[in-house]
Chains A and B, each alone.
Chain A
């Protein structure tokens, strides 16, 4: 399918040049990193930019580093880079686990985490994981830098807090100081490549506190604070899981679409929450399946 929209292609060599382009073209400019969403949008005329700005020559956007407990994912970091990184596998295994569920290798070799949250579809696999790690999105324009908490990033389906003259430069995650373990549970129609019908990310801490976030179960991926409050301070048990299951159903608002019905999503939300919590706690004590094991089918 040819792209019928006519646009100019620019590949700025430094940040200043790039920011000038976005300052000038604003909504009419689109950043191109992996292109796995943008090119589809261009083909389907969902996006009609005047200029496509390839940001892959901007050195400061690449690389991932862990320094003093803060993980910085440059905006060009692909899901394959996360999967291949020993730092991610050992220190942020939940992010590693979720990355494995994103599309397929050929897509992950180009698709970036920053692109995933900029596309901001409700089913973004990276989003609930970033949410439970309290990630912050670093943005930049000619006016300066901003640091947006992930909880304020998603403003609606496919909508974000990114301003028209800004680009995302990095995503930062804090390595929790307390002992913790996690689980990302993704419900999809078949094993392998599919968008989430629903996703739940859990971090469980040694002091019996929990962080829970969901994707594809509401208009935006989000933390579930009421569920976290019900769980907080308690050891998992059947009664607590039942109560948490009741609570999370008040916090999600799934729709029926081509991938599943609202009723099925609600039914599975409770089940996924319970299994993800149990798996995260098992991992906390060195038990449970290895990260990356198919955990729902």
Chain B
């Protein structure tokens, strides 16, 4: 396999590295770039724990080849503080103790960030739809939905 030299913006900083065509973005972020917020969950796109923002949209980093990130802007939870809603969400989740084990938290926060950027006044259904792809195995969905709703209302 011919390795590829790629460059992309990771949380606002330029990174350059050489990757194999078969390297998966999630594994490169975690294993080589020290970015640990995206988690390895189902590893096939169903659970949402590996969520990162690519060019402003949430994607499954377990279903992206690292080489596809060439030229892109990747934001993970570590670098999402510059976005309007992320810190507000984190504060509300913290205040409400809305996460239990926290494994799904980075993915949920990024999905909620994307939702509120597009739709700052979401209905309960909009919120549930936005996080439908983020599985919480503590099944603490109610406080998660409430925390997103409260963040949107600015409580």
Q: Which residues of A contact B (CB under 8 A)?
A: 1-9, 32, 35-36, 39-40, 42-43, 52, 54, 56, 80, 100, 103-107, 109-110, 191-193, 294
Asked if B146 is at the interface of the complex by the 8 Å CB criterion, the answer is no
CB-based contact B21/A7 at 8 Å:
yes
With A35-B64, A39-B24, A191-B128 given, name 19 new contacts (CB 8 A): A1-B43, A3-B22, A8-B2, A9-B65, A32-B65, A36-B45, A36-B60, A36-B63, A39-B62, A42-B22, A105-B130, A106-B45, A106-B48, A107-B45, A107-B63, A107-B133, A192-B128, A192-B133, A193-B132
Give the number of residues in B that approach A within 8 Å (Cβ atoms): 35
In the complex, the answer to whether A109 meets B133 with C-beta atoms within 8 Å is no
Q: How far is the CA of A61 from the CA of B111 in the complex (A)?
A: 28
Closest to B133 in A: A104
Interface segment out of the listed B8-16, B51-59, B92-100: B51-59
B12 to chain A, nearest CB (A): 21
* Contact A106 B59, beta carbon cutoff 8 Å: yes
Q: List 15 A-B contacts (CB under 8 A).
A: A6-B22, A8-B2, A8-B21, A39-B45, A39-B63, A39-B65, A103-B133, A104-B134, A105-B58, A105-B111, A106-B48, A107-B60, A110-B63, A191-B128, A192-B133
Contact A43 B60 (CB under 8 A): no
- Complex CA–CA separation, A14 to B37 (angstroms): 37
Contact A2 B48 (CB under 8 A): no
Measured CA separation A32–B22 after assembly (Å): 13
What is the chain B residue whose CB lies nearest that of A54?
B68
Are B64 and A9 neighbours in the complex by a CB distance under 8 Å? no
- The B interface is mostly helix, strand or loop, or mixed, namely mixed
User: In the assembled complex, how far is the CB of residue A265 from the closest CB belonging to chain B, in whole angstroms?
Assistant: 22
B57 to chain A, nearest CB (A): 4
Write the chain B residue with the least CB distance to A56. B68
- CB of B27 to closest CB in A, whole Å: 7
Once the chains bind, are A7 and B22 in contact (CB under 8 Å)? yes
Q: A105-B130, A192-B128 are in contact. Are A43 and B111 (CB under 8 A)?
A: no
A104–B63 Cα distance when bound, in Å, is: 14
Specify which chain A residues have a CB less than 8 angstroms from the CB of B23 in the assembled complex: 3
Is the beta-carbon distance between A40 and B63 smaller than 8 angstroms? yes
Residue of B nearest to A4 (CB): B22
For the complex, give the distance between the alpha carbons of A237 and B44 in Å.
45
Question: B1 contacts A6, CB within 8 Å?
Answer: yes
Given the complex of chains A and B, what is the CA–CA distance between A286 and B33 in angstroms? Answer: 54
Over the window 85-119 of chain B, the binary record of Cβ atoms lying under 8 Å from chain A Cβ atoms (1 yes, 0 no) is 00000000000000000000001000100110000
Chain A nearest CB, measured from B140 CB (Å): 15
Question: Does residue B129 face the partner (Cβ distance < 8 Å to A)?
Answer: yes
Contacts of A54 in B (CB 8 A): 67-68
On whether the beta carbons of A9 and B58 are closer than 8 Å, the reply is: no
> Once the chains bind, are A106 and B133 in contact (CB under 8 Å)?
yes
Inside 8 A of A35's CB, which chain B residues have their CB? 63-65, 68
8 shortest A-B CB distances, which residue pairs? Answer: A104-B133, A192-B132, A9-B21, A3-B22, A106-B58, A109-B57, A39-B63, A1-B43
Q: What residue of chain A has the Cβ atom nearest to residue B44's Cβ?
A: A40
Q: Are B46 and A193 in contact (CB under 8 A)?
A: yes
Enumerate chain A residues within 8 angstroms of B115, measured Cβ to Cβ: 105
* Cα–Cα distance between A5 and B22 once the two chains are bound (Å): 7
- B83, CB-defined interface residue at 8 Å: no
Contacts of A1 in B (CB 8 A): 43
**Which residues, 20 to 54 on B, are CB-close (under 8 Å) to A?**
21-24, 27, 43-46, 48, 51
* Cβ distance B23 to chain A, nearest Cβ, rounded Å: 8
